[in-house]
Amino acid sequence: MKSKKKRIPGSHAPGIQWLLTGIALLFFITMLILPLILVFTKAFEKGAGVYLAAIQDPMALKAIQLTLLTVGIAVPVNTIFGLVAAWAVAKFQFKGKNLLLTLIDLPFAISPVVAGLIFVLLFSTTHGLLAPFLTAWGLKIIFAPPGIILATLFVTLPFVARELIPLMEAQGTAEEEAALTLGASGWQTFLRITLPNIKWALLYGIILTAARAAGEFGAVSVVSGHIRGLTNTMSLHVEILYNEYQFSAAFAVATLLTVIAIINLLVKNIAGWKIKRMEEKS
């Protein structure tokens, strides 16, 4: 008897494959490529001089500095937190583990605007829960850079931990236990065994954290007060310029956020590719 060849589903209809591929490419071009082109086109429509003037404006420079400061604080802090939380969740069994996972996911469940309002209710010097303490010590958090940093820390808290936990759970504890049995200290085990195994997932989480911190708008908008030169990040500065009908200047500053996003995307894809290769090898 002649054996029948198994036909792969969909192989008899190449037209459908081309149609689906075309729809996906059209969606990609319409939703991603075209907006990027329009951002740069609008930014340079009045010439390079206007573009450079918008970037070099003192208020824009202040916004860029505050954004970089916020990213520079949020990324290291949440990287350390993510490493510690992932290590605890993936390598140990303890009471309250599910509660810790819930707390890590909390920023995903709460709207950034609501998160900003929570910080206002806590740290406002006029009606906040901690107002007497803040007033006594002369501290100002809301409508000041510390509030922006706190709000950004909150919304970016889960990214590193959530990238590391599944990978570390899949890797198990055999290698670490072997290293400890051979006399390695906990710190040596982490540096020589754990960290090399998670480095690309860690980089992936760091990139996601940096991208969210640089572009965060909702929570930051609530706690900032939109004070020019003091509490405006790049995202808020773009909004103000756009509302004032300074479209070229708004899109000029927006190109900086776009470049940051593109760099993050490239590094994220490289890290994702490395993670996939590691999973295939394992």
- Identify the band that residue 268 occupies on the pLDDT scale cut at 50, 70 and 90: confident
Looking at residues 192-212, what average pLDDT do you find? 89
Instruction: Answer yes or no: do 157 and 198 share one domain.
Output: yes
Token digits of residue 41: 């086109």
- State the CATH number of the domain containing residue 122: 1.10.3720.10
For the segment 178-197, the average pLDDT, to the nearest whole number, is: 84
| Contacts of 245 by beta carbon, 8 Å cutoff, 6+ apart | none
Q: How confident is the model at residue 279 (pLDDT cuts 50, 70, 90)?
A: low
* Count of structural domains within the chain: 2
- 223-234 average pLDDT score: 90
Lowest mean pLDDT among 59-68, 235-244, 257-266: 257-266
> What is the rounded average pLDDT for all residues in the chain?
87
Q: Give pLDDT tens digits for 60-109.
A: 999 999 999 999 999 999 999 999 999 889 888 888 888 889 999 999 99
What whole-number distance in Å separates Cα of residue 73 and Cα of residue 196?
24
The answer on 275 and 152 residing in a single domain is: yes
Q: Where are the alpha helices (DSSP H) in the chain?
A: 14-28, 34-43, 48-56, 58-91, 97-109, 112-123, 131-137, 145-155, 158-171, 174-181, 186-189, 195-215, 218-224, 234-243, 247-281
Whether 206 shows a pLDDT value over 50: the answer reads: yes
Regarding predicted confidence, which is higher, 236 or 264? 236
Residue at token pair 């065994």: 193
Q: Is residue 258 part of a domain?
A: yes
* Residue 253 near residue 54 (C-beta atoms within 8 A): yes
Q: What is the pLDDT of residue 1?
A: 47
- Residue 225, SS3 per DSSP: coil
* Whether the predicted pLDDT of 281 surpasses 80: no
Domain that holds residue 37: 14-44
- pTM for the model stands at 0.84
Separation between Cα atoms, residue 282 and residue 267, nearest integer Å = 23
